[in-house]
Structure formats: structure tokens, C-alpha cells
Structure 1
Amino acid sequence: MIGLHIKELREQKGYSLSKLADKAGISKSYLSYIERDMQRNPSLQVLSKIAHPLGVTVEQLLQESVQKEFKLDKEWQMLVQKAIQAGMRKEDFLEYYQFIQFKNRNKKR
């Protein structure tokens, strides 16, 4: 959800949508589409234009956006750590996940 992250950074800087669009050299409507996740895959060139006035790099913009989207709470983190310590491999997790999906599909029938 890069759009939400861009909006948070914009608001932290105290920029309006118009001000950031002007500083980035992109249209206000396009920036609005990005922030509202109507445009989910802006080009690296556009992200670079947005990142500069926000005082971040494109890498930081993308990395922080991904981290926010996939942040695990403490309970999940501990559960994953215990599973790894017990010898669970990625392949084991994937197999278990696929089994759960299979079970859920059969419940719906």
C-alpha cells in the first residue's frame, strides 16, 4: 500500500496534495489516484519524483510501505520463531498452508 505510505509522509511534511504534486512535477489527480490506491503501480520515475520532496529515497519509500503492509504482531513473530526452532522449513509451512486451503474449499461445498 504505497499510496497510504505516501499520504502519511505528505501529511507529516505538512504538504497538501496540490503542494506535493507541484513539488514532484506530477498532476494532482495522478497523485490522488496513487494515494487512494487506484493507481497501485506507479513507475520508478514517478516514485522518484514523489520521494525527493518528501526527503526519502525510492528504496525507503518502497521498503517502509512493504514493512507496514506485512507487519506481524509479537504473537505471530514468536510463533514463527518457535516453528523455525522446532525445525519447520518453508516447504513444511507451504504444505500445511495448502492443506488448510484444501480443507476450507471442502467446507464450502
Structure 2
Amino acid sequence: MIGAKIRSLRMERGLTLTELAEKAGIAKSYLSNIERDLQNNPTFEYINKVAKALNIEQERLLFDMKSNDENCKSPNEFVVFRKTLNQLNNSQLEELIEYIEFIIWKRKQIN
């Protein structure tokens, strides 16, 4: 899920795997493993580094959001969501990511 988003955004920006890894300050091999879904539990710190290197909000990697976020019912909804995320520590954010990934996996199993 997140690996495919990273790969898609990286390619949209015309970046190679090496370029994105250097720009984000992460290991190229780890980035490759994430993109190929060999590693699927990146830390929030990793997600934040990649998001900054891609010049996007980290929520865009974590959730199914478009840059103009047509999924939100109102602009205030996104602001409230972002403020809530900012109140969580890294451990809580990682737990949230795991929970969301579990829900997505569970829905795929049902379909």
C-alpha cells in the first residue's frame, strides 16, 4: 500500500530510487524494500523523511488522499485531522498506522 504510493509519487517527480533515498537521507535498499512491499511497517520518522523529500504531507502517504483532498467533506475536517495527528507521539502514530493497515488488509480479505 504505502510502497506503491511512494513509488508512484517518486516516478511522477522523475526521481530515481537513489535520488529519493539521498534526498530523504535513508538507505536505498530500505526504500527499495518498502516500494516492493518486502518491508511494510515503516516508522513514522521514515514516512516523514520520504514525505519531506517528495514535498508532500505525510498524511498523503498514510491515507488515500489526493493533493486537493476531495475525500474530505470540508476544509476544516482536514485541519482537525492534522491537529490530531500532531498531538500523537511516534509510538502512537506507529500504532495508528498498524491499525489502519490492518483495516485495509481485513477489507481486502472480505472482498
Aligned length: 66
Q: CA–CA distance in 1 between the matches of 2:26 and 2:58?
A: 16
Note the C-alpha offset of 1:39. 0.7
Note the C-alpha offset of 1:60. 1.5
Q: CA–CA distance in 1 between the matches of 2:6 and 2:64?
A: 10
* Corresponding position of 1:44: 44
Q: Point out the structure with max Rg over C-alpha.
A: 1
Query: % of aligned pairs identical?
Result: 48
Q: Deviations over 1:73-99 (max 9, x none)?
A: xxxxxxxxxxxxxxxxxxxxxxxxxxx
| Structure 1 segments (4+ residues) deviating >4 Å | none
* Corresponding position of 1:17: 17
Q: CA–CA distance in 1 between the matches of 2:28 and 2:56?
A: 20
Report the TM-score when normalising by structure 2. Answer: 0.57
Report the TM-score when normalising by structure 1. Answer: 0.58
* Corresponding position of 1:29: 29
Note the C-alpha offset of 1:13. 0.5
Instruction: For structure 2, list consecutive stretches of 5 or more residues without a partner in the other structure.
Output: 66-109
Q: CA–CA distance in 2 between the matches of 1:18 and 1:3?
A: 15
* Corresponding position of 1:53: 53
Q: CA–CA distance in 1 between the matches of 2:23 and 2:40?
A: 21
State the structure with bigger RCO (CA 8 A, min sep 6), 1 or 2: 1
CA RMSD of aligned residues (A): 1.5
Q: CA–CA distance in 2 between the matches of 1:7 and 1:60?
A: 13
Secondary structure, counterpart of 2:41 in structure 1: coil
Secondary structure, counterpart of 2:23 in structure 1: helix
Higher helix proportion (structure 1 or 2): 1
Instruction: For structure 1, list consecutive stretches of 5 or more residues without a partner in the other structure.
Output: 66-100, 102-109
